[in-house]
Structure 1
């Protein structure tokens, strides 16, 4: 376990996926406000314009944080695309000139899948394969290459975070792809924690966020109970603001009391 309160007090390399909007945007801004000067944040997403906006917000909150934007389609099943991403990083002037004390990766990118179908309705194997490639396979490959770059003999502190969900541990009707994808990510992280106890590993469920994904939940969910649940939560203002969820994540990381590989929810008392 790392020293309590120290995680944001080290010169950090931090890679964030899905950083162009929503929770990823707020993670970039929130972490930048906490990191020490001359830390480096790498923002990854398909949306280059959105990444530029996130970078602008980060620089407004901390001018001494270095930011690199890397447009990348994480649905790719071509290993060379991931190699090219890291080649851009390691050849950047900031990376070449900075000795990092800590390396962190935040796997935020992901998709809901088709919530208009029930388990028995999925017939196209390519559709299923694409979903798991985006939400599970790409995360695993990206994480492996990240840990290759930041081997234990190169940086003392390493942190791997993946954005989970209540759906990883509780089934939601008509959300079969999303639930099974999140469950797979949780188990990968539990396994990583067992295999590499020297790495701090966290699965964080950010709560029912008030993002574009919630709009899909309220309009496209095939199951009426699930749809109405989210319609009610929205109407009664029970959804969580992304900035509030990031504040909670920061507190969890600062306290550093979670069991390695643990699934921690926004609402957990930890």
Structure 2
């Protein structure tokens, strides 16, 4: 599933194609999955932002001044296999036509969703409404994270909840926990552990964004940038997907287990589960 680095890369890549453009038409055949998208038609994209794993397009009336507040938000969640493309594919689910051309939402497994809402009206999106701070922002404070981690349950599911920090999914939770030398099932982090993890999250997420995210495998269902190019961070994974290969730090084979129904990778020597 695309996580923060992949979604941020998508935002940066498609922003020049959409910002300042007027949406003329949104075509799809699944109104239950792409809710109220007709409301975007005739509105201008004032900007594109991101919250966790969600893309947010700020929309205003087409004749509004540049500094007028936007009156709607076009929310996009890429799901497990969603992404934008410059050309239509056999798995195109939504065609977005603007006065500058067309952009296609490609989603082989059909888990992606879209909705047009008034700004901040996230009652039907509890994950977005209750999301924690952005990991690369000043709102992500070490002291707050350390305090919350002192009473957390198993740390990996806690991270995946999006409440302590937004945008961290399966890949980057494994990578940050490996870097911080913390077992994914560890509970009640000590202050030193929580501080290591805090800084590991910031480093891993920043590096992954700079690398354009992670592309796993070469199938149609895997993340690609809008022009079809893969990300580059998969070449720098230390734990995720590395089960059976030597840990880059100590040489012990990376192990794989299931935690909260998610495949989880860790080093049994570097990441010891303490009592």
Taking structure 2 as the reference length, what is the TM-score of the superposition? 0.25
Taking structure 1 as the reference length, what is the TM-score of the superposition? 0.25
More helix as a share of residues: 1
- Structure number, greater radius of gyration: 2
Greater relative contact order: 1 or 2 (C-alpha under 8 angstroms, separation 6 or more)?
1
